């Protein structure tokens, strides 16, 4: 059978960062994939040295709208590493709380979108509905629904006040009950089992050799988590577990993300209970020359920042490595051999921050054959078929 | 004929979402407006999958060199008259990326923008208000 090319992209398919996939298909089966990124390049590393250390958290926050606490956190950790700054305890706890809230909202977002991709729009609407209380918490704690601007070198910008704590706990109870409802709905649904199990498998060996990070790695049985491996903030002062699944398929990835929400809630509860009574920041007059690294576990995996300073108010070099950059190439393994109906889901499994308009188009002899909508329809149809089969 | 088309546009605008180089937050807030809490579909506003079906373009992010040709192509493909609504400070005036080597400018340098919705990101309420204002303009 002749080979055809399915372009997905260019700049907003399923993933977080805009990228362009070329699926090479034989009939219905994907035999190869080419990945091309760079549509979202705004030159953060170039802009960073022209700003001061106090301004950069606002810049790196805007690398990604969903991990908008992880990047500034990794950056301030890098600067604090460079200057050997010891941050007050309360600031560490507040950082942990905001960081875990971000994980909950991000995982719910993913669950919703994954539901959308397989034609379960109900899951989408419900998951996003229960993301809203988390966003409201952000608005209360940080002043904005997204882009929290909480981290600064030497501490955090805003305090969590005593009378806010009981409200936060109440909202956490609500979110917990709704997430457990969603978890049950997803884990008990025979259609979802049939649809998601054994699809897009990333074996443990492949996960290690591609160097994937975050939930993508943990769903393949690789127990890595920067929060445990290199404890920062208050992660070594609270009780929590790494969620690991062995199967490596999309079902395992969904399960890891859902169960991680509960761990996050657990962490936040403990932090709120033990919030120490110290100032939330220390004043920093001078930053020495030197270099430092900061890493933290974003919802999608390890974020890494490197800073080199020369004693002035600006860094001379700032390097960023985001988790999706590591996870993307693994699509090569997960997508190959699957039908087009599964391709959307496989690409989405590492993290579909589906932002907007995916544009997928299949060209045959220069004419449009399938569009992204058709791919979605294929995926939905497959779910329908499985559902019908199971009903019998 | 043109009046008829404008009238049709007012009733239930179908929108297509163009993200140039954005940070995703504006895009997520647009999607958020579709979900139960805000539910813009009540007003007949539907997000469509192709610019050919769209009455209005919601544009987000700054335009960079790689996305410029695609953005222009999407605008070309949209049937006229169409509204262009710039969402977020990035789309309105390039935000903090002004000095970047890869950023070629805000949207209004290349497309006729009808409504600007500043904010980083604007809240879904603000986005809905912006779309309503755009419709009133017709
Ligand atoms: S305006 Fe803000 S939220 Fe919107 S794309 Fe730009 S940086 Fe992101």
What is the CA(A355)–ligand 1 centre distance, in A?
A: 12
Q: In this predicted structure, what is the pLDDT of residue A210?
A: 85
Q: How far is the C-alpha of A13 from the C-alpha of A49, rounded, in Å?
A: 31
User: CA dist A364 to A49, A335, A355, A377, B77, Å?
Assistant: 47, 21, 28, 19, 20
Task: Find the mean pLDDT for residues B20-29.
Answer: 82
pLDDT higher than threshold 70 for residue A4: no
Tokens standing for B106?
């805000």
- Find out whether the beta carbon of B64 lies less than 6 Å from any atom of ligand 1: no
User: How does pLDDT run across A310-330, given as a tens digit for each residue?
Assistant: 888 889 988 888 887 777 777
State how far residue B134 is from chain A, nearest Cα, in angstroms. 21
For residue B103, the chain A residue with the least C-alpha distance is A42
Q: In this predicted structure, what is the pLDDT of residue B8?
A: 62
- Find out whether the beta carbon of B124 lies less than 6 Å from any atom of ligand 1: no
Please state the φ and ψ torsions of residue B104, each to the nearest 5 degrees: -100, -5
Domain of residue B117, residue span: 2-137
Per domain, the residue ranges of chain A are 44-334
| Beta-ladder partners of B58 | B17, B85
Nearest partner of B62 among B121, B124, B20, judged by Cα: B20
Residue A7 has a CB neighbour count (10 Å cut-off) of 17
Give B-chain residues touching A42 at CB under 8 angstroms: 21, 62, 64, 97, 100, 102-103
Q: In this predicted structure, what is the pLDDT of residue B7?
A: 65
Task: Find the mean pLDDT for residues A122-149.
Answer: 88
Query: Contact A182/A123 with Cβ under 8 angstroms?
Result: yes
pLDDT higher than threshold 60 for residue A383: yes
Tokens standing for A279?
């100032």
Give A-chain residues touching B49 at CB under 8 angstroms: 357, 371-373
Pairing of strands A151-152, A155-156: antiparallel
For residue B28, the chain A residue with the least C-alpha distance is A355
Using DSSP, state whether A367 is helix, strand or coil. strand
Give A-chain residues touching B123 at CB under 8 angstroms: 145
Q: Which residue do the tokens 């604007």 mark?
A: B122
Confidence of residue A13 (pLDDT cuts 50, 70, 90): very low
Query: Contact B83/B113 with Cβ under 8 angstroms?
Result: no
Comparing CB atoms, the residue among A38, A147, A371 nearest residue B120 is A147
CA angle in degrees (0–180, nearest 5) for B127-B130-B132: 115
Closest approach atom of ligand 1 to CA A147: 3
For residue B15, the chain A residue with the least C-alpha distance is A357
Q: Do B97 and A47 touch (CB under 8 A)?
A: yes
The answer for residues whose C-beta is within 8 angstroms of residue B131's C-beta and 6 or more apart is B13, B15, B40, B45, B56, B85, B115
State how far residue A8 is from chain B, nearest Cα, in angstroms. 13
Sheet of strand A3-8: strand arrangement: A3-8, A19-26, A29-37
Comparing CB atoms, the residue among B25, B37, B100 nearest residue A42 is B100
Tokens standing for A86?
């010891």
Q: How far is the C-alpha of B131 from the C-alpha of A65, rounded, in Å?
A: 22
> What is the pLDDT of chain A when averaged over all its residues?
80
Length of chain A: 392
Q: In this predicted structure, what is the pLDDT of residue A38?
A: 63
Confidence of residue B10 (pLDDT cuts 50, 70, 90): low
Query: Contact B57/A29 with Cβ under 8 angstroms?
Result: no
pLDDT higher than threshold 80 for residue B124: yes
Length of chain B: 138
Confidence of residue A77 (pLDDT cuts 50, 70, 90): very high
pLDDT higher than threshold 60 for residue A106: yes
Using DSSP, state whether A309 is helix, strand or coil. strand
- What CATH number should be reported for the domain whose range is A44-334? 1.10.645.10
Q: Do A62 and B102 touch (CB under 8 A)?
A: no
Q: How far is the C-alpha of A93 from the C-alpha of B8, rounded, in Å?
A: 54
Q: In this predicted structure, what is the pLDDT of residue A261?
A: 92
User: CA dist A115 to A123, A380, A387, Å?
Assistant: 5, 10, 15
Pairing of strands B14-19, B46-47: parallel
Q: What is the CATH number for B101?
A: 3.40.50.12280
pLDDT higher than threshold 90 for residue B51: no
Q: What burial letters (b/e) apply to B67-103, b meaning 16+ CB within 10 Å?
A: bbebbeebbeebeeebbbbbbbbbbbbbbbbeebebb
pLDDT higher than threshold 80 for residue A364: no
| Beta-ladder partners of A29 | A26, A339
This complex has an ipTM of 0.87
Q: Which residue do the tokens 């608005």 mark?
A: A139
Q: How far is the C-alpha of A10 from the C-alpha of B70, rounded, in Å?
A: 8
Q: Report cis status (omega within 30 of 0) of the bond before B121.
A: yes
Q: How far is the C-alpha of A210 from the C-alpha of A326, rounded, in Å?
A: 7
What is the CA(A216)–ligand 1 centre distance, in A?
A: 27
Task: Find the mean pLDDT for residues B2-23.
Answer: 74
pTM of the complete model: 0.86
User: Which residues in B have their CB inside 8 Å of a CB on A?
Assistant: 16-32, 35-37, 49-50, 60-62, 64, 66-67, 70, 95-97, 99-103, 120-121, 123
| Residue B123 DSSP symbol | P
> What is the pLDDT of chain B when averaged over all its residues?
83
Q: How far is the C-alpha of B131 from the C-alpha of A239, rounded, in Å?
A: 47
Indicate the angle between helix axes A121-129 and A162-187, nearest 10 degrees. Answer: 170
Q: In this predicted structure, what is the pLDDT of residue A115?
A: 82
- Find out whether the beta carbon of B95 lies less than 6 Å from any atom of ligand 1: yes
State how far residue B1 is from chain A, nearest Cα, in angstroms. 30
Nearest partner of B83 among B31, B134, B18, judged by Cα: B134
- Find out whether the beta carbon of B78 lies less than 6 Å from any atom of ligand 1: no
What sections of B12-123 are H helices per DSSP? 25-32, 68-77, 89-93
Q: In this predicted structure, what is the pLDDT of residue A173?
A: 93
Q: In this complex, how many residue pairs, one in chain A and one in chain B, have their CB atoms less than 8 Å apart? A: 120
Give A-chain residues touching B99 at CB under 8 angstroms: 47, 50
Q: Which residue do the tokens 């806010």 mark?
A: A164
User: How does pLDDT run across A245-272, given as a tens digit for each residue?
Assistant: 888 888 888 889 999 999 999 999 999 9
Q: How many helices, marked H, and strands, marked E, lie in chain A?
A: 16, 10
- Find out whether the beta carbon of B120 lies less than 6 Å from any atom of ligand 1: yes
**How many structural domains does chain B have?**
1
């Amino acid at each position: 059978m002749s080979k055809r090319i399915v372009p997905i992209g260019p700049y907003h398919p399923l993933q977080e960062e805009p990228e362009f996939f070329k699926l090479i298909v034989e009939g219905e089966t994907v035999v190869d994939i080419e990945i091309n990124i760079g549509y979202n390049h705004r030159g953060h590393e170039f802009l960073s040295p022209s700003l001061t250390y106090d301004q950069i958290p606002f810049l790196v926050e805007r690398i990604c709208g969903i991990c908008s606490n992880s990047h500034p956190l990794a950056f301030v950790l890098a600067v604090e590493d460079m200057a050997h700054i010891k941050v007050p305890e309360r600031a560490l706890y507040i950082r942990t709380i905001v960081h875990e809230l971000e994980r909950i909202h991000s995982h719910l977002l993913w669950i919703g979108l994954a539901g959308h991709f397989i034609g379960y729009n109900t899951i989408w609407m419900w998951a996003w509905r229960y993301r809203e209380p988390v966003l409201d918490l952000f608005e209360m704690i940080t002043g904005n629904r997204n882009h929290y601007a909480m981290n600064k070198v030497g501490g955090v910008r805003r305090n969590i006040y005593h009378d806010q704590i009981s409200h936060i706990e109440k909202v956490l109870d609500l979110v917990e009950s709704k997430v457990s409802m969603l978890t049950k709905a997803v884990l008990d649904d025979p259609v979802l089992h049939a649809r998601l199990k054994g699809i897009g498998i990333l074996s443990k060996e492949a996960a290690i050799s591609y160097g994937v990070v975050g939930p993508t790695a943990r769903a393949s049985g690789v127990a890595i988590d920067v929060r445990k491996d290199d404890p920062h903030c208050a992660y070594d002062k609270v009780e929590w577990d790494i969620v690991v699944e062995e199967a490596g398929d999309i079902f395992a990835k969904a399960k890891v993300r859902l169960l991680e929400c509960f761990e996050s809630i657990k962490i936040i509860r403990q932090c709120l209970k033990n919030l120490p009574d110290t100032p939330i920041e220390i004043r920093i007059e001078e930053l020495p020359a030197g270099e430092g690294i900061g890493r933290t576990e974003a919802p999608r995996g390890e974020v890494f920042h490197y800073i080199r300073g020369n004693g002035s108010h600006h860094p001379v070099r700032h390097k960023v490595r985001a988790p999706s950059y590591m996870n993307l190439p693994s699509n090569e393994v997960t997508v190959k051999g699957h039908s087009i109906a599964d391709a959307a889901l496989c690409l989405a499994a590492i993290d579909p921050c589906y932002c907007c308009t995916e544009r997928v188009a299949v060209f045959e002899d220069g004419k449009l054959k399938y569009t992204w909508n058709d791919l979605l329809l294929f995926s939905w149809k497959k779910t329908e078929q499985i559902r019908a089969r199971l009903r019998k | 004929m043109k009046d008829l088309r404008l009238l049709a546009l007012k009733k239930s605008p179908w929108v297509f979402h163009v993200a140039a180089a954005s940070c995703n937050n504006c895009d997520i807030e647009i999607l958020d407006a579709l979900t139960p809490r805000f539910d813009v579909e009540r007003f007949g506003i539907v997000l469509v999958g192709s610019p050919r079906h769209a009455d209005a373009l919601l544009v987000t992010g700054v335009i960079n060199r790689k996305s410029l040709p695609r953005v222009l192509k999407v605008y070309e493909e949209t049937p006229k008259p169409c509204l262009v609504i710039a969402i977020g400070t990035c789309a309105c005036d390039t935000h903090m990326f002004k000095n970047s080597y890869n950023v070629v400018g805000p949207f209004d340098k290349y497309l006729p923008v009808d409504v600007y919705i500043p904010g980083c990101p604007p809240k879904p309420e603000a986005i809905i208000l912006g779309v309503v204002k755009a419709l009133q303009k017709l």
